[in-house]
Structure 1
Amino acid sequence: MASRTGKTALLGMGLAALLAGCGGGGGGGGGFLPLVLPPAPPPAPPSAPPPTPPARTAQALCDLLAGKTIDGAVVQKAAVVAAADGVPAYCQVQALMSPKLNLALRLPEGWNGKLVYSGGGGYNGEVPAANTAALSMGFANVSSDSGHQGSGVDASWALNDPYAAQLFGSLSVPTVMAPALQMLTVAYGNAPARSYFEGCSNGGREALMNAQRYPNLFDGIIARAPAYNWVGFMGHFNRTAKAIAAPGGLLSAAKISTLAAAVRGACDANDGIVDGVVSNPSCSFDPAVLRCAGGGDTGDSCLSDAQLAVVSSWTSPAVWAGGAYRNAGWPLSGNEDDVGAWPAWVTGIAGPKTAAQYLFQDTTVKTYLARDLGADSLAYAPYDQDPQALFGLEALNSATSTDLRPYFGSSGKLILWHGGNDSALSVNTTTEYFQNLKTTLGAATVEANVRYYVAPGVNHCAGGPGADTTNLLAALDTWVGEGKAPETLVAAKIDAGKTSFSRPLCRHPQYPRYTGPAGDAAAAKLAASYTCTTP
């Protein structure tokens, strides 16, 4: 196994060579041939505790890096950020890797000897903010804009810049890690003893991409709501956008509320408590019961045939080319009316062409498939029109491979997480990836190396009525450093800095079932009143 504290030598072998042979797989988490694999290696023993780094002030750390060029990264600014709200003082280093890959490295006082890389979101385009939760735990933190600048819902930069497209697809993280490790060595006197990656959405895709293509880069990876199935979900976005654009297809806010209330009415109590969150995923609701008389639009208390077609497009799997490309449908959660759910992602707050799903599929069709910024994405037939363009997009951006033997063989651990009310990316796609891991690698290997959690009522990455805050990084660090695999965790809903309520975060397929005293409002707010239960 390659030493993770000496990753720079590995990275120096050349990123093009590392990428060779790592093209896109079968697409959409399905359609691939089953692999016949040898037995998995036994779990590695817990690693030794990291050495204690020298104590240096944030200003001293900045002074050591200011104006330097380190492994191709030109430090443009190194400035102290004062301690605040439990976050220690740290040095924020901003650096440029030619031609336009920007990174930020945050070096805390009282460094714990470890690094966490924070993934981006959407089509990236800006450096994510500092991970203050990680900094408060003593981690150094690095992130980048992945090699281009712009809006996260705009991919036009990739039209005529293949290098930027490669950086976004898979190369930016290993490219940034090389100078980041060297900067830490210069600043603290030694490289990090352990390195982790955490990301959500596109950051979750980056997480899985690195587990698949660069198995020696990180000791542990957290992939939250991973957008790993790029071709599949973009095609699904396109299909649903067309259904919404059809005559009478758009659902008003009142119609969405009718749908959500009906799901809650049918399913909310199935988890032991009526609290506005459907936690038991086994409840089945047929939206056809909401059909307006005759199928026309006769009021807000029912759905027309055109509107039911939108719901069907959204909830049913999208499959093309004999299963080579697919995307699982979304479950009806009962919280579709949350402002961060359907209004933001599916129907649009200021019209259907402001919906995030529409914007993402539109820029993807124009840039990667039609290769014409003037193309009409709603008139494009992406899975029939240009198979070669689809293959190219899959090879660049999808991270569907389930052969994680090299990553697990080098002692890497993986935590998967998804919000149950995610209207951006279906929780069912992450469940499929988890199940496909078992099919490929065997249940014993997955049990030893992977944990998967679903957070009921939580929107895309965060928000929604569910408990959306959990310290997954601490759980991962304990797993990697002490060999103690995480089991049930605790999730909290935090408002204005205070915990409103807590819930168990259960290992899939379990869900939190209320087992506390009936009618006790105070008990209902406590995680201890719930039991992780198999549907």
Structure 2
Amino acid sequence: MKQYITLVLTPAVASASLLLAGCGGSDGAAIAPDTRQNTAQQACDALKSKTISGATIGAATLVAAAAPTPGYCRITAKIDPSLNFELRLPDSWNGKLYYGGGGGYNGAIPDASGFNLSALQQGYATVNSDSGHQGSPVDASFALNDPNAAQLFGSLSIPTVMSSALDMVKAAYGAAPKHAYFEGCSNGGREALMTAQRYPNLFDGIIARAPAYNWVGFMGAFNRTAVALAAPGGQFTNAKLALLARSVRDACDGKDGIVDGMVSNPAACTAADFNPASLRCAGGADSGDSCLSDAQLAVVASWTTPAVFSGSPTYRNAGWQLSGNEDDPGAWPTWVTGNGNVQGALQFLFQDTTVKNYLARSPSANSLTYGAFDQNQNALYALEALNSATSTDLRPFKNSGGKLILWHGTNDAALSYKSTTEYYQGLQTRFGSAAAVSEFAQFYLAPAVDHCAGGPGADTSDLLTALDNWVDKNTAPATLAASKFAVDGKVELSRPLCPYPQYPRYTGPANDAQAGKLAANYTCTQP
């Protein structure tokens, strides 16, 4: 297990002197949890009204088991001046700690659902925070005049919370966690990589799903596409979006061995197979839903090409690949077009609040007329220093025994899977080979899956168990299982989750729709 040094924190929690140190990585001498561990009620009693390692506990509440949630003690705590977190201590503790990341610009504590619920069901003590401020996840106004809140959001909230949470777990159960893991998606994925880079001894294993690691690059890309959509004639009707998606599927769906409404071999879908210009309206003017105007093709070009900004090689975004499922409700309608209102799209909202509060530093700034995204180099540098996690130098993390799993859905309209691929390839360049990286990191692409979850693809995979087996048993993850569940909880389809660069190729009986829903009829194959 990692060896942790506890910090006793003052209100100045965002001081640059805040560090967590460690001594080595997994030492092979596993420390078993105390067999006399407390029940959830006893954990609540042990922590109620305490101040532990700079965190004041506001409430310790027993939550009764109610399927699918197990019984646990819910601890709410605050580290002055404004960092709130929640610790959940299960009745049947497995001796380990799970930290779940946030989303967007945070501002609220994630609840006991999704990945957090899954960890709680497996017996983990779980912790989440609001990252040091309270507000909407699409509102960065906290960063305008509060450097402390900006630093906490950028990189300091997780190590700050961990220093208190570890001591709380020990006080509640009579033993320190055997292992500590972090899992996050989107901004939580950024938090994951930020922690691996800046606090390499903090967690034994980290899962970064769809990581928003390149804050300057993707915010700039968001801005560029929003401007293109807001231009006269740039917006898409639902029918035009369906035309674009259908055209991609018609060209590339079968390249994975089966036509099933999903492009599961995106590497094989090239411009030779589908060129958006083939959908151009005669003369370039909009003539209806059977074609795309020049203004709409400009949006597609903004979307698919790299966005590069001056000042640093890291100020870039890889661009998205057309997936054939852009018309999924959780894809372009939510993130790009805003269902016909660009200012209601999440990409617009994120870039708008970023321009206002980090770059122009004026709440009245208009992001659509702001001009060149990289015009203020000092502001861009400050944004990068606070929020980006682009470094591939994970040697301290690797040397401490840390393990990393990267994951990204290929129908993600929020963040490009191509950017995460670039990061993984950057690791291979840094460490010299794919084999060297595989000693501590693995990368998975989930075909036709939206941002973090959703979409027509198999969006559910238990990466936490795979990570725990890697850390605890030295069993490196290879091909994993992925499923898509219906509302009633039944499995709609299953697929193998293939290590990059492999994809799931259909090898089952021809023209058998039911066989196409079963993972057993797919083989992980090199593109």
TM norm structure 2: 0.94
Q: Which residue identity does 1:376 align to in structure 2? A: N
Q: Distance in 2 between matches of 1:290 and 1:213?
A: 46
Q: Which residue identity does 2:414 align to in structure 1? A: A
In the alignment, is residue 491 of structure 1 matched against residue 482 of structure 2? Answer: yes
In the alignment, is residue 154 of structure 1 matched against residue 139 of structure 2? Answer: yes
- Does the Cα contact within 8 Å between 2:2 and 2:26 map onto a contact in 1? no
**2:164 is paired with a residue of what secondary structure?**
helix
In the alignment, is residue 475 of structure 1 matched against residue 473 of structure 2? Answer: no
Q: Which residue identity does 1:348 align to in structure 2? A: G
Count of aligned pairs between the two proteins: 512
Q: Distance in 1 between matches of 2:29 and 2:503?
A: 32
Any residues of structure 2 matched to 1:328-367 within 5 Å, and which?
A: 328-349=318-339, 351-367=341-357
Q: Cα distance, 1:18 vs. partner?
A: 5.4
**1:437 is paired with a residue of what secondary structure?**
helix
**1:255 is paired with a residue of what secondary structure?**
helix
**2:316 is paired with a residue of what secondary structure?**
strand
User: Which ranges in structure 2 are unaligned for 5 or more consecutive residues?
Assistant: none
Q: Cα distance, 1:55 vs. partner?
A: 3.6
**2:493 maps to which residue?**
501
In the alignment, is residue 92 of structure 1 matched against residue 74 of structure 2? Answer: yes
In the alignment, is residue 521 of structure 1 matched against residue 513 of structure 2? Answer: yes
**1:349 is paired with a residue of what secondary structure?**
helix
Q: Which residue identity does 2:269 align to in structure 1? A: C
Q: Cα distance, 1:210 vs. partner?
A: 0.3
Task: Give the alignment partner of residue 110 of structure 1, picking from 92, 95, 100.
Answer: 92
In the alignment, is residue 510 of structure 1 matched against residue 492 of structure 2? Answer: no
Task: Give the alignment partner of residue 305 of structure 1, picking from 294, 299, 318.
Answer: 294
Q: Distance in 2 between matches of 1:11 and 1:440?
A: 35
Task: Give the alignment partner of residue 278 of structure 1, picking from 263, 266, 271.
Answer: 263
- Does the Cα contact within 8 Å between 1:43 and 1:448 map onto a contact in 2? no
- Does the Cα contact within 8 Å between 1:122 and 1:152 map onto a contact in 2? yes
In the alignment, is residue 316 of structure 1 matched against residue 305 of structure 2? Answer: yes
- Does the Cα contact within 8 Å between 1:181 and 1:192 map onto a contact in 2? yes
Q: 1:177-203 CA distances to partner (integer Å, 9 max, x unpaired)?
A: 011001001100011010000000000
Any residues of structure 2 matched to 1:131-530 within 5 Å, and which?
A: 131-281=116-266, 282-284=268-270, 285-321=274-310, 323-349=313-339, 351-443=341-433, 444-495=435-486, 496-530=488-522
Q: Distance in 2 between matches of 1:463 and 1:488?
A: 21
Q: Distance in 1 between matches of 2:173 and 2:421?
A: 40
Q: Cα distance, 1:126 vs. partner?
A: 0.1
- Does the Cα contact within 8 Å between 1:204 and 1:226 map onto a contact in 2? yes
User: Which ranges in structure 1 are unaligned for 5 or more consecutive residues?
Assistant: 21-41
Q: Distance in 1 between matches of 2:406 and 2:482?
A: 15
Any residues of structure 2 matched to 1:17-56 within 5 Å, and which?
A: 17=16, 48=30, 50-56=32-38
Q: Distance in 2 between matches of 1:195 and 1:222?
A: 12
In the alignment, is residue 70 of structure 1 matched against residue 52 of structure 2? Answer: yes
Q: Cα distance, 1:445 vs. partner?
A: 2.4
- Does the Cα contact within 8 Å between 2:235 and 2:340 map onto a contact in 1? no
Q: Distance in 2 between matches of 1:207 and 1:398?
A: 11
Q: Cα distance, 1:67 vs. partner?
A: 0.6
Q: Which residue identity does 1:404 align to in structure 2? A: L
**1:385 is paired with a residue of what secondary structure?**
coil
Q: CA RMSD in A?
A: 1.9
Q: Distance in 2 between matches of 1:307 and 1:431?
A: 27
Distance 1:111 1:468, change over 3 A: same
- Does the Cα contact within 8 Å between 1:420 and 1:459 map onto a contact in 2? yes
Distance 1:47 1:153, change over 3 A: farther
Q: 1:109-153 CA distances to partner (integer Å, 9 max, x unpaired)?
A: 110000010000000000001211001101010010001000000
- Does the Cα contact within 8 Å between 1:53 and 1:111 map onto a contact in 2? no
- Does the Cα contact within 8 Å between 2:495 and 2:518 map onto a contact in 1? yes
Q: Cα distance, 1:523 vs. partner?
A: 1.7
Q: 1:213-253 CA distances to partner (integer Å, 9 max, x unpaired)?
A: 00000000000000000000000000000101111111111
Q: Cα distance, 1:45 vs. partner?
A: 7.1
Q: Cα distance, 1:441 vs. partner?
A: 1.5
- Does the Cα contact within 8 Å between 1:297 and 1:303 map onto a contact in 2? yes
**1:35 maps to which residue?**
none
**1:8 is paired with a residue of what secondary structure?**
coil
- Does the Cα contact within 8 Å between 2:14 and 2:152 map onto a contact in 1? no
Greater shift in the superposed pair: 507-516 or 374-383: 374-383
Q: 1:35-58 CA distances to partner (integer Å, 9 max, x unpaired)?
A: xxxxxxx99775636334424222
In the alignment, is residue 57 of structure 1 matched against residue 42 of structure 2? Answer: no
Q: Distance in 2 between matches of 1:374 and 1:44?
A: 51
In the alignment, is residue 127 of structure 1 matched against residue 109 of structure 2? Answer: yes
Q: Distance in 1 between matches of 2:456 and 2:145?
A: 42
Could you tell me the percent identity over the aligned residues?
64
Q: Distance in 2 between matches of 1:185 and 1:65?
A: 10
Q: 1:25-83 CA distances to partner (integer Å, 9 max, x unpaired)?
A: xxxxxxxxxxxxxxxxx997756363344242221111111111111111111111111
Q: Which residue identity does 1:477 align to in structure 2? A: D
TM norm structure 1: 0.93
**1:159 is paired with a residue of what secondary structure?**
helix
Q: Which residue identity does 2:498 align to in structure 1? A: C
Q: Cα distance, 1:325 vs. partner?
A: 1.2
Q: Which residue identity does 2:458 align to in structure 1? A: A
Q: 1:299-346 CA distances to partner (integer Å, 9 max, x unpaired)?
A: 101100000000000000001217451110001000000000000000
- Does the Cα contact within 8 Å between 1:506 and 1:532 map onto a contact in 2? yes
Q: Distance in 1 between matches of 2:149 and 2:227?
A: 30
**1:24 maps to which residue?**
none
Q: Cα distance, 1:268 vs. partner?
A: 0.4
Q: Distance in 2 between matches of 1:10 and 1:482?
A: 33
**1:4 is paired with a residue of what secondary structure?**
coil
Q: Which residue identity does 1:481 align to in structure 2? A: D
